[in-house]
Amino acid sequence: MFVGLTLVGMVTGLATGWLGGPSLLMWAGYGVAYAFGGWYGLKGAIETLRHGAVDIDLLMIVAALGALSIGAPFEGAMLLFLFSLSNTLQHYAIGRSRRAIKSLVEMRPDEAQVLRDGEEVTVPIEEVAVGDVFVVRPGDRIPLDGVVTSGEGTVDQASLTGESVPVPKVPGDEVFGGTINESGSLEIEVTRQAHESAISRLIHMVERAQSEKAPTQRLIDRLEQPYVLGVFGLTIAAIAVPVALGNEFTGTFYRAMTLMVAASPCAVIISTPAAVLSAIASGGRQGVLFKGGEHVETAARIDAVAFDKTGTLTQGDTQLTDVFVRDGTADETLTEDELRSVVAAVQARSEHHLARATVRAADARSLDVPDAERFQSVAGKGVKADVDGTTTHIGNRSYFETVLGDAAIDGLEPGLDRLQTLEEEGKTSVLVARERHGDVSVSGWLAFTDTVRPGAAEMIDDLRSLGVEHIVMLTGDNERVAQRIADEVGIDEVQAELLPEEKVATIEDLVGRFENVAMVGDGVNDAPALATATLGIAMGGAGTDVALDTADVVLMGDDLSKIPYVLGLGRRTRRTLTINLAIAFGAIALMVGAILLRGIPLPLAVVGHEGSTVIVSLNGLRLLGFRG
């Protein structure tokens, strides 16, 4: 509104002067233009002065008043009009990037159909508690995070995770608030209250990210104060020196005001937030959460990428594929199912992905699993527990060397040789041994496989096309299995059989070699490595608190193509920043040079100054449409 009134006042004053109309009407028009065009700038300048500083608002107000004082009211009014217009466009650019994220709020329903005493009751989502069960039908938005307890269907999760196709859901699967149930009626048990849901956390963290300034923006903010003071000093010198040399004051003052306008850094200051905030918003709409503008710029510099294997490059749903029972021992009557039951009893106490696969396999066969006692785990190596009065050991060679020592290992060599053979076949394998009265004998072996995620090889190729120099796999799995996966997808280097602390040391070594290193993991067991890397990227963070807390970038879904998207968006943002700063500083240098060497009128300086500000704002907004 104020911009419109400024334009009306400016045109009225100019037209009245040209047509020889009443001077009162002309000055009334210019008065309206100055009052409404300078209102917010004057308020901002006064507020800044109260804190003992100066800013661009003060520059513009002084330049407009200076033009008025030497009989050039139109030039001053035009300056205020274009300054107000450019500020409006800046706010629009930044506001649009924020609205792109805040629109997610509208995707979350206000109410849920909760089952109470066998009947559906409409309840505000703020009043729904963890453990309540609600119903969603085809076409409904899911109001809260939860787990499907009954029914089957497909859910469109694009608004949250960026997945391009609907995801099938069956009992036991996790669903997220704000997503759309496309088919099938579902009953869902609430796992998080409204304020803790994945979409609420996404909105909160993106808003926080948008308030954290990128390094380039912080540098420009630090330079704004001395730069503005420098412009004032240059303006004063441009008046004092020529006047002292005998030049006419009015022309000199006009030229100094033109110089002040041309040298003002409006476009420089808006160039960074216009781009970075648009990049953060663009990522949010693709299911990619940058936790600050700093990480957008960091993504542009990545030279090497390290991947966790299980759950990142592979599906993470490891399957027990082979069970072998050793013949001719004290366990010769042990059947395959009995071995499965004993191993499941021990591994039921473990959170390792191999343990979970063993327990799932036992459940699938409806086996009777006994209780285990005195469970102990050796991280990255194996586990043991007492089952039916006998200690059962399950692990790799390193486990048995660590726990049992050389004397016991000698008796297990045939079993360990068979373990090595299975691993050479590309399967993750463990040895099962039972200990009675100090004697340890082999009971059997278990072999597991995991499948590579679809698109993993294409993702690696995309990273190379972006200029990533080196790609590494970090895993606790054995080297042969890891190398098989690496060969399949095109990894440069494999670091296998790593404990969590060894992953951290490896990342530190990579940073020393390549300086800027990204670590990609699932955000749970990889948290220390994610925190150590230059850029930590966590996959599947929609339901993972650790990922949201630890990583710098969170991929809300498990789409590997989002990893090149992250680095591509960072690189595109860096190019946009470079272009914006070149436009901003180039316009300043061109106009200042022209004023000092040839002299240009104030209106042309105004158009050049405000025009460059508008251009960099719109150029930054282009990042909202980035798709990789």
Residues in contact with 437: Cβ distance below 8 Å, sequence separation at least 6, in sequence order: none
CA neighbor of 487 nearest in space, from 271, 296, 313: 313
The predicted model gives 111-138 an average pLDDT of 89
CA angle (130, 132, 138) in 5-degree steps:
115
Q: Is the pLDDT of residue 548 over 70?
A: no
427's CB contacts (< 8 A; 6+ apart) are: 321, 322, 447, 448, 449, 481
Choose among 569, 618, 571: nearest CA to 274: 618
Instruction: Count Cα neighbours of 197 within 13 Å in the Cβ-side half-sphere.
Output: 30
Q: Is the pLDDT of residue 98 over 60?
A: no
Residue 207 or residue 185, greater confidence: 185
Q: What is the pLDDT of residues 270-292, one digit of tens each?
A: 788 878 888 888 888 788 888 87
pLDDT category of residue 261 using cuts at 50, 70 and 90: confident
pLDDT tens digits for range 491-511: 999 998 787 778 888 999 999
Cβ-based neighbours of 441, under 8 Å, separated by 6 or more: 329, 330, 331, 411, 433, 434
Q: How far apart are CA 367 and CA 343, in angstroms?
A: 11
| Confidence band, pLDDT 50/70/90 cuts, at residue 116 | confident
Give the Cα separation of 600 and 605 in Å (integer): 7
Residue-wise pLDDT for 302-359, tens only, equals 999 999 887 788 876 778 888 888 876 444 567 888 889 999 999 888 877 788 888 8
Question: Each residue of 426-445: pLDDT tens digit?
Answer: 778 888 888 887 778 888 88
Residue pair 528/514 in contact by the 8 Å Cβ criterion: no
As a whole number of angstroms, the distance between CA 505 and CA 137 comes to 50
Q: Is 417 a residue whose pLDDT tops 70?
A: yes
**pLDDT greater than 50 at residue 490:** yes
pLDDT tens for residues 76-91? Answer: 788 788 777 766 766 6
Show the tokens assigned to 592: 């200042």
Kindly report the pTM of this predicted structure.
0.69
Q: Is the dihedral of CA 120, 124, 127, 129 positive or negative?
A: positive
Evaluate if residue 520 carries a pLDDT over 80: yes
d(CA 352, CA 343): 13
Q: Using one digit for the tens of pLDDT, what is the confidence trace for 350-395? A: 877 788 888 888 888 888 888 888 888 887 788 888 888 888 899 8
Closest CA relative to residue 266, chosen from 622, 573, 616? 616
Contact between 153 and 181 under an 8 Å Cβ cutoff? The reply is yes
- 3-state SS, 281-297, equals HHHHHCCEEECCHHHHH
- Maximum separation of any 2 CA atoms in the chain, in Å: 117
- Residue-level pLDDT at 433: 87
Reported as type and span, the H/E element at residue 620 is: helix 602-621
Residues with Cβ within 8 Å of 147's Cβ and at least 6 positions away in sequence, in order, are: 172, 173, 174, 175, 188, 189, 191
| CA nearest neighbour of 16 among 65, 68, 73 | 73
pLDDT higher than 60, residue 97? no
Whole-angstrom distance, CA of residue 520 vs CA of residue 538: 6
CA distance 139 to 136: 8
Pairing of strands 146-150, 180-183: unpaired
Q: Which residue has the tokens 């503008």?
A: 293
Percent of the chain with pLDDT over 70: 89
pLDDT tier at 547, thresholds 50, 70, 90: low
- The one-letter amino acid code at 315 reads Q
> How far apart, in Å, do the first and last CA atoms of the chain sit?
38
Pairing of the two strands 133-136 and 186-190 = antiparallel
Cβ within 8 Å of residue 291, ≥6 positions away: 205, 208, 209, 212, 551, 552, 553, 554
57, 132, 308, 526: the catalytic one is: 308
Q: What is the pLDDT confidence band of residue 205, given thresholds at 50, 70 and 90?
A: low
Mean pLDDT rounded to a whole number for the chain: 82
Give backbone dihedrals phi and psi of 445, rounded to 5 degrees, phi first: -140, 150
> For residue 263, how many C-alpha atoms fall within 13 Å in the half-sphere facing its CB?
24
Per-residue pLDDT tens for 127-185?
889 999 999 988 888 888 899 999 988 888 766 665 556 788 889 888 888 888 888 88
Given a cut of 90, whether residue 550 has pLDDT beyond it is: no
How many CB atoms are closer than 10 A to CB 255? 21
The pLDDT of 179-203, averaged and rounded, is 81
> How is 66-108 classified by DSSP, letter by letter?
HHHHTT-HHHHHHHHHHHHHHHHHHHHHHHHHHHHHHGGGGGS
Instruction: Compute the distance between CA of residue 499 and CA of residue 79 in angstroms, rounded to an integer.
Output: 64
Domains of the chain (ranges; CATH) run 1-101+207-276+572-625 (no CATH), 111-196 (2.70.150.10), 319-449 (3.40.1110.10)
Does the structure show a pLDDT above 90 at 563?
A: yes
Is 308 among the catalytic positions?
yes
pLDDT tens digits, one per residue of 567-616: 999 999 999 999 999 999 999 899 888 888 887 887 888 788 778 888 88
192-220 average pLDDT score:
68
Between strands 553-555 and 382-387, the pairing is unpaired
For the ranges 47-61, 401-415, 540-554, the lowest mean pLDDT is seen at 540-554
Q: What percent of the chain has pLDDT over 90?
A: 16
pLDDT above 90 (res 45): no
